[in-house]
Amino acid sequence: MSKVKRISKKIDKKTGAFLIYMVLMFMFISTISSLFMGEYREFLLKLIGFILLSISAGTLTYGIRNEIEFNDAVIAKAPTGSL
């Protein structure tokens, strides 16, 4: 195991999930505009999409934080997720 080299790639905390939050902003504006135009079926579909995109953005941010913590640790704890 002494020949194993650790990959050192820098991950920026601020730009990790920035783009998906930008998409969320435009999705929110589109959802609200469909509500004001009176298209209620379209509003419900966009609201469901917005909620799913919000959940995926939160999960992505959580994963990026854990990856940064794992890469910065000298002795990292084992992953606990199940396949």
Highest mean pLDDT among 10-14, 20-24, 40-44: 40-44
What's the CA gap between 41 and 51, in Å, rounded? 16
| pTM exceeds 0.75, yes or no | no
The string of pLDDT tens digits covering residues 55-81 is 988 888 888 888 777 777 777 777 666
- What is the rounded CA–CA span in Å between residue 61 and residue 6? 23
What are the boundaries of each domain within the chain? 18-68
The three-point CA angle 8-11-16 to 5° equals 160
